[in-house]
Structure 1
Amino acid sequence: MTALADSLTFRHGPDWQNRIALAPLTNMQSNDDGTLHDDEYRWLTRRAEGGFGMVMTCAAHVSQAGMAFPGQLGICDDAQLPGLTRLADGLRAAGAVSSVQLQHGGRRANAQISGRPVVAPWDDPSKGATALTTGEVEQVVHDFVDAAVRAERAGFDGVEVHGAHGYLIAQFLDTRSNHRTDRYGGSTRNRFRIVHEIVDGIRAAVSPNFQLGLRLSPERYGIVLDEARALAFEVLDRGNLDYLDLSLWDAFKEPYDEAHHGRRLIDFFTDLPRGNTRVGVAGKITDAPGARECLERGADFVLIGTAAILHHDFARSIVADPTYRALQQPVPADHLVGESVGPAFLDYLSTNWDDFVA
């Protein structure tokens, strides 16, 4: 049986010391220009010190137009390199493999903070979004590739492409609304195209020892489970990814679609042939038994969100204690401050989640 403490190898890049990764978490702790803030540095390096095998940043915008929330880390300008380099160095010194999550907000971007028009795969007056031209979609692909190259220059061990949660790449996958008539819309092949172009472009542009992951949402946001499974099969089969990160919201639940009830959502993906590509899962994994169960059901690793906010050393704790469980929510603000949650992150948790901060 695979154990949480077992190291994990990849096609490219360094081994992880264990099967536990920090999930990419919105925290609003960076500066307004996307440069690194001390609070963001402390938050992430503390998790590296806490035993996480891989530590990933929050979603970092790959272009100014893609900025989705205040205090978002950026990776679209060389002016952001000094902070990114400091962070990569700090995570390595603390013992973790490092990754930047690359993101574009699309119709979920915020023009008030980005200063740029909102763009999307289709015109969306409700969001003030206009449809990208074919040439502009090609530029988005270049932006993701350029951001990955910038991450490698900064000294990170890898990047993850954010194709989940209704942001721009996931919008292209939306079967309800992406009816573009160019090569990026309509058919399943066309809607999947941007994912493959970004992944293939990054792999061609970075060195052989640079890790590359992809995050997908298997359902919701206009994504059909059967199509998500088909896309997962394709990216696993092509061999350019080092890992696929599945954001399940709840790693122990059945699919939303009643037609697929009777089987857990995780099981629709862990049975796919994967070669040397690893598969990780995220969603309500808050104790050691739950993390082990995900591995037992075929995942190669787990990504931890809530429990990592509550405990900087959650990874070390579940390796050491097979019964370890995170604190129940809500928790006092002082506890989170002691876990290196900065003021902006604390305010975000307080105002956006009614069960997090007591």
Structure 2
Amino acid sequence: MTDLSDPLVFSHGPAWRNRLALAPLTNKQSHPDGTLSDDEIRWLLARGRHGFGMTMTAAAYVAPAGKAWQGQLGISEDAHLPGLTRLADGLRDAGSASIVQLHHGGTQANPSVSGEELVGPSADPERGARALTTDEVRRTVDDFAAAAARAERAGFDGVQLHGAHGYLLCEFLSSRNVRDDGYGGDLEGKARIIRESIAAVREATSSDFHVALRISTERLGLDTDEMAELSAQLMAEGGLDHLELSLWDVTKLPEGAEPGAPSLLSHFIDLPRGSTRLGIAGKVGSGPAAVAALATGVDFVTIGRAAIADQRIAERTLADPDYPGPAFPVTKDVLRDNCVGEAFVDYFSAGWPQLVAG
């Protein structure tokens, strides 16, 4: 049996010291220009210092048009490098592997924040978005590659492409993608931008740079069988060091499934992986939940909300597999005591009032 404390080795980049990864958590602590704030660096370094095998940034926009919220981290220009370098240096000193999540909001971007036109794979009149031209799709691939090169220059160990949650790359995979220029239609066409981005990132970075992808597996116009097929293809192709499945709940059934049906994860867990490592995220907030998630046969487990309320959850879980995790709701002072800055306190309290008392 694999243990949470076992190191995890990859084809590219350093090994992780254990099987626990910090989720790429939106926290709205970056400056308006996308540069890292002291609060955001402090929040991430605290998790790296307290045991996570891998610490990932929040989603970082690769182009101004992809910026989706105020306070979002940026990696679209060299002006973002000083803060990113400071963070990468700190995580290296903490012993945690470091990854930047690369993101484009697509039709979920925010023109009032970005100052840019809303774009996506296909026109969306309800959102006021137009379809990207073929040349713009290719420039978007270049944006992901340039951002990855920037992350490596800053000293990060790797990047993860954000292909989940209905953002741009996920939108290309959706049935709502009606493009007829080779970037839509069948699964190969819909996934073309992802494959091209992986290849471009590999080309733009060194031979020891970690490249990964996060995907959703259902809803959002996605077909679970297609997503399982794509997952198998990408893992077999060998361009990815890890593939992370964002499941919302690692134990859930597929949408609409009858009680007793196979879990959503079961569609993916037995796929051949080659050298690609498979991780899962979704409502893992305690030692027993992390142990059970790893016991399904995945290679690593990602922790999200519980790590907001408890900066030491990784080291506590590694020391005690029965660690119950933080008990929600927590007070705002508990969040502050766990290196959560005021902007993050406000965002978390407003977005999930059931998890914050007072």
The answer on 1:147 being equivalent to 2:156 is no
SS in 2 for 1:15: coil
Letter in 2 for 1:102: L
What is the CA distance between 1:121 and its match in structure 2? 0.7
Once residues 354 and 228 of structure 1 are traced to their aligned partners in structure 2, the CA distance between those partners, rounded to angstroms, is 33
Once residues 258 and 163 of structure 2 are traced to their aligned partners in structure 1, the CA distance between those partners, rounded to angstroms, is 25
What is the CA distance between 1:212 and its match in structure 2? 0.8
What is the CA distance between 1:208 and its match in structure 2? 1.2
Letter in 2 for 1:189: E
Change (3 A) 1:19 1:219: same
Once residues 207 and 124 of structure 1 are traced to their aligned partners in structure 2, the CA distance between those partners, rounded to angstroms, is 38
What is the CA distance between 1:259 and its match in structure 2? 7.6
More displaced, 184-193 or 258-267? 258-267
Number of the residue aligned with 1:294: 293
Number of the residue aligned with 2:183: 184
Number of the residue aligned with 1:229: 228
Number of the residue aligned with 1:265: 264
Once residues 208 and 269 of structure 2 are traced to their aligned partners in structure 1, the CA distance between those partners, rounded to angstroms, is 26
Number of the residue aligned with 2:280: 281
Letter in 1 for 2:128: G
TM superposition outliers: structure 1 runs of 4+ over 3 Å: none
| Cα offsets for 1:185-213 (capped at 9, x unmatched) | 12211101111111111112211111111
Quote the sequence identity (%): 53
| Cα offsets for 1:43-77 (capped at 9, x unmatched) | 00000011000000000000000000100000000
Number of the residue aligned with 1:325: 324
Once residues 290 and 266 of structure 1 are traced to their aligned partners in structure 2, the CA distance between those partners, rounded to angstroms, is 15
Alignment of 1:169-208 (within 5 A): 169-175=169-175, 177-208=176-207
| Cα offsets for 1:131-173 (capped at 9, x unmatched) | 1000000000000011000000000000000000000000001
Number of the residue aligned with 1:113: 113
**Are the counterparts in 2 of residues 310 and 326 from structure 1 also a CA contact under 8 Å?**
no
Once residues 233 and 165 of structure 1 are traced to their aligned partners in structure 2, the CA distance between those partners, rounded to angstroms, is 20
Number of the residue aligned with 2:76: 76
**Are the counterparts in 2 of residues 17 and 53 from structure 1 also a CA contact under 8 Å?**
yes
Structure 1 portions without partners, runs of 5+? none
Structure 2 portions without partners, runs of 5+? none
TM-score normalised according to structure 1 size: 0.98
Once residues 332 and 30 of structure 2 are traced to their aligned partners in structure 1, the CA distance between those partners, rounded to angstroms, is 20
Number of the residue aligned with 1:238: 237
Number of the residue aligned with 2:132: 132
Letter in 2 for 1:246: L
TM-score normalised according to structure 2 size: 0.98
**Are the counterparts in 2 of residues 255 and 261 from structure 1 also a CA contact under 8 Å?**
no
How many residue pairs align between the two structures?
357
Number of the residue aligned with 2:57: 57
Number of the residue aligned with 2:342: 343
- RMSD between aligned residues: 1.1
SS in 1 for 2:100: strand
Once residues 353 and 218 of structure 2 are traced to their aligned partners in structure 1, the CA distance between those partners, rounded to angstroms, is 24
Once residues 219 and 332 of structure 1 are traced to their aligned partners in structure 2, the CA distance between those partners, rounded to angstroms, is 33
**Are the counterparts in 2 of residues 9 and 15 from structure 1 also a CA contact under 8 Å?**
yes
Number of the residue aligned with 2:20: 20
**Are the counterparts in 2 of residues 287 and 326 from structure 1 also a CA contact under 8 Å?**
yes
Letter in 1 for 2:134: T
